[in-house]
Amino acid sequence: MMKISRAKKKSGFAIIIAMVAVTVLTLLAGAFAYSMKVETRLAQNSDNDEQLLWLGRAGVERARWILAQEPGNYSSLNQVWAGGGGEGPETNGPLAGVSLDNFPVGDGNVSLKIIELESKININTAPAPLLQQVLTTQGANAGDINTVSDSILDWVNAGDATRPAGAKSDYYQGLNPPYYAKDAPMDDISELLLVKGVSLAMFKGGSVTNDQGAAFQHHHLGFGNAPGQMPDYAFGLQDVFTPFSLGKVNILTASDTVLQLIPGMDTTAAQDIQTARASDPPIRNIDQLLAAAHIPAAAQAQIKNYVGVLGSTYEVHATAHIGDYSREFVAILCRNGPNVDVFGFYWK
């Protein structure tokens, strides 16, 4: 019978220990290398975050400068702030050749999208008839129109009195989870989702097959959907309302959908106004626009209560890029002649 010496046993055991030690050290070295890679990446991301923040701020400052150069008597979609080629004094002034896309700043670049909020209806100042017209044309059920309209007015206005179909804090406190009515102007249009009667479908609008480019493609004139039928709204409340604006809709920048929501306006008039404001030379005077749209005098007087030709409040989207990294920042700007102030800045 063969015998294994104690020395050979010790030698084999030592080899096993050495292999285990090498394996452990290899794993530790790999973990350390990975940890260093992660730390380096985190440090790089932190550095990029700081740079992207300043790029976003630089983009907002560029938007402020652009808006400060625009004429103070009207604003239109042909102007540089809206991505147009320029109009009037813009064509040979400081804004000539200015682009909103991929302009270099430091080690990166920034792209701007500027939205004039006067192109929408101010949710905080809209009267009941206008709210009801929006809901009717959207295709809301007849039973929801007064509920949503009254509830919006109750939400944005202080006081304990509740409108007939509206709601105050006593209603919202009965929900799960409970919350209080705002009793003050909205700061963000998504607050509509907290208002009694407003559904997510109503807020977003349309359906997966709805062509959003076709105004009122599926509206039901306030009769809504049949029992058991899924709602199909012509547009979303978020598409036509804003919490920030001077109050009057800019007839030169409003979409076809918003134009048709103005009391006294119909589909033909809205299309005629869009044609007139894009003509060569374009029409920029309210009276001339309404005359070009062949709107009766009585309707013109009604429409003038809701519209203007000047934009003063803007939502700026500044998308900053550094290599493969990008981040979108949003700011609210208010223009008063050559003075443009920032009233909000956040990372989206």
Residue 348 lies in a domain: no
Query: CA–CA separation, 307 vs 270, rounded Å?
Result: 13
pLDDT value at position 11? 65
Count of domains in the chain? 1
Q: Which residues contact 264 (CB under 8 A, 6 or more apart)?
A: 295, 299, 300, 302, 303
Residue 69 lies in a domain: no
As given in the structure block, the two tokens for residue 54 are 């300043």
Strands 241-242 and 108-116: unpaired
pLDDT value at position 348? 83
As given in the structure block, the two tokens for residue 67 are 């808006």
pLDDT value at position 46? 57
Bridge partners, 339 (sequence order): 336
3-state secondary structure 167-235: CCHHHHCCCCCCCCCCCCCCCCHHHHHHCCCCCHHHHHCECCCCCCCCCCCCCCCCCCCCCCCCCCECC
pLDDT value at position 202? 95
In this predicted model, what pLDDT tens digit does every residue of 187-235 receive, in sequence order?
999 999 999 999 999 999 965 343 433 333 333 334 445 555 566 899 9
Residue 338 lies in a domain: no
The H or E element containing residue 136 is helix 128-138
Strands 249-250 and 307-308: parallel
What 3-state DSSP class applies to 264?
Answer: coil
pLDDT value at position 218? 35
Residue 208 lies in a domain: yes
Residue 179 lies in a domain: yes
Backbone angles phi, psi at 307, to 5 degrees: -125, 160
Bridge partners, 333 (sequence order): 314, 342
Buried/exposed 321-346: b ≥16 CB within 10 Å, e otherwise: bbeeebbebbbbbbbeeeebeeeebe
Residue 170 lies in a domain: yes
CATH of the domain at 232: 1.10.40.60
Contact in structure between 56 and 110 (CB atoms under 8 Å): yes
Contact in structure between 168 and 155 (CB atoms under 8 Å): no
pLDDT value at position 181? 97
Amino acid identity at 255: S
In this predicted model, what pLDDT tens digit does every residue of 277-295 receive, in sequence order?
998 889 999 999 999 999 9
* pTM (two decimals): 0.79
DSSP E strands in the chain: the ranges are 103-105, 108-116, 121-122, 241-242, 249-250, 307-308, 313-322, 325-336, 339-347
Strands 249-250 and 241-242: unpaired
pLDDT value at position 74? 92
The H or E element containing residue 143 is helix 142-156
pLDDT value at position 337? 85
pLDDT value at position 68? 94
Nearest to 256 by CA among 120, 115, 81: 120
Domain limits at 213?
131-240
Query: CA–CA separation, 294 vs 267, rounded Å?
Result: 12
Residue 259 lies in a domain: no
Nearest to 261 by CA among 141, 123, 137, 117: 137
Gyration radius of the chain's alpha carbons: 30
Enumerate residue ranges in the chain where pLDDT < 70: 1-13, 32-47, 206-231
Backbone angles phi, psi at 213, to 5 degrees: -80, -15
Residue 258 lies in a domain: no
